Amino acid sequence: METANSQDQVLTRAAQVITSASALLISASNGLSIAEGYNIFADNALFQEQFGDFRTQYGFRSVLQGCFFEYPDPQERRRFFERLVQLWITDYTPGPVMRALRSLVGNRDYFIETSNADRHLQKAGFAEDKVFEIEGNFATMMDQTRTENRTMELGRFINRYSDKNLVFLELGIGSGNQLIKEPLMRLCATLPNSFYLSFNLPEEIFLPRYIADRSLAVTGDLARTLQALNTLCSD
C-alpha cells in the first residue's frame, strides 16, 4: 500500500489516480449510505421517527432487523416494506454525498457493484444498467422478486479496460466484509495497469499485500473526502 506523510498528500495522490483513470470500477456498501445519514443498523432518531410504531409493537431496533423480522402475517411485512420503499427510495433526494460522487465520476466510463439496497446511486444519476445490486433492493425484497444479475455487463466492462488505467474505488466497505472486497482486490492484482483506492474510516481499512504497490487507503469522513477530491480533480 502506498504511504503518504499527510492527509493532504493522500488526497492529492488519490486525485491524481482518479484524474488519470480510463474508467472507474466502483464498489459500495453501508458506509456510503451511512455517510448520507441512512444507517440500516442504527436505532437512531431517524429510525425511531420513521418506524417507531414497528419498534414499539415488534421490538426490533433497526431497519435491517425490520427487513428480516418474522412478522405475524404477510400484510404486516408488506406494510413495513411499503413504508421503507416510500421513505428511503421514492421520497429520496440526492444530497451532498451522492452529488459529490456523481460529480467525481463525471464523464468517465464506470460500473458500480453495491450491496446497498436503497437505490440512491440510480436516483443520483448513475445508469441503471451500470449498477449491479448484488443483494437486490428494498423493492425487490418487498415483492420477493428476482434481482437482475449484471454479471455479464460487469465482465464486458472489465474486458474493455483490462489493459488500461482501470481505477477501483471502494466506498465504505468494512474491513471484514469480503463479499465484494476480495474478488475485486484479486481482480486488481491480475490487471497490471489498475489501481485500488479504499475510502473508509481508519479502523475499517483493509488492503492486502498482493496489491501493496498499487493501492492507497484514503481515511476519514467520506462526505468530506468526496468534496475535497472534487475540488482537487477540477483544479
Read out DSSP for 95-144?
-HHHHHHHHHHTTSEEEEEE---S-HHHHTT--GGGEEETT--HHHHHHT
**CATH architecture type of domain 7-37+95-234:** 3-Layer(aba) Sandwich (3.40)
At 35-68, the pLDDT tens digits run 999 999 999 999 999 999 999 999 999 999 999 9
Work out the average pLDDT over 7-28. 96
Whether the CB-CB separation of 33 and 40 falls below 8 Å is answered with yes
Work out the average pLDDT over 28-34. 96
Say how far apart CA 75 and CA 39 lie, in whole Å. 25
Residue whose cell numbers read 460522487: 101
Please list the residue range(s) of the chain that carry CATH number 3.40.50.1220.
7-37+95-234
**Confidence class of residue 80 from pLDDT cuts 50, 70 and 90?**
very high
Residue-level pLDDT at 234: 84
Task: Give the count of beta carbons closer than 10 Å to the beta carbon of residue 115.
Answer: 19
Residue-level pLDDT at 1: 60
Which grid cell sits at 229?
A: 477530491
pLDDT at 217 over 70: yes
Whether the CB-CB separation of 232 and 15 falls below 8 Å is answered with yes
At 143-153, the pLDDT tens digits run 999 888 999 99
In the chain, DSSP finds a helix count (H) and a strand count (E) of: 11, 6
pLDDT at 2 over 70: no
Strand partners, 109: 23
Say how far apart CA 203 and CA 201 lie, in whole Å. 6
Q: Is 95 exposed, middle or buried (0-12, 13-18, 19+ CB in 10 A)?
A: middle
Work out the average pLDDT over 127-136. 96
pLDDT at 109 over 90: yes
pTM, two decimal places: 0.95
Say how far apart CA 33 and CA 41 lie, in whole Å. 11
Say how far apart CA 123 and CA 125 lie, in whole Å. 5
**Confidence class of residue 7 from pLDDT cuts 50, 70 and 90?**
confident
Which grid cell sits at 114?
A: 453495491
Which grid cell sits at 153?
A: 455487463
What are the E-state strand segments in 43-172?
A: 109-114, 131-133, 166-171
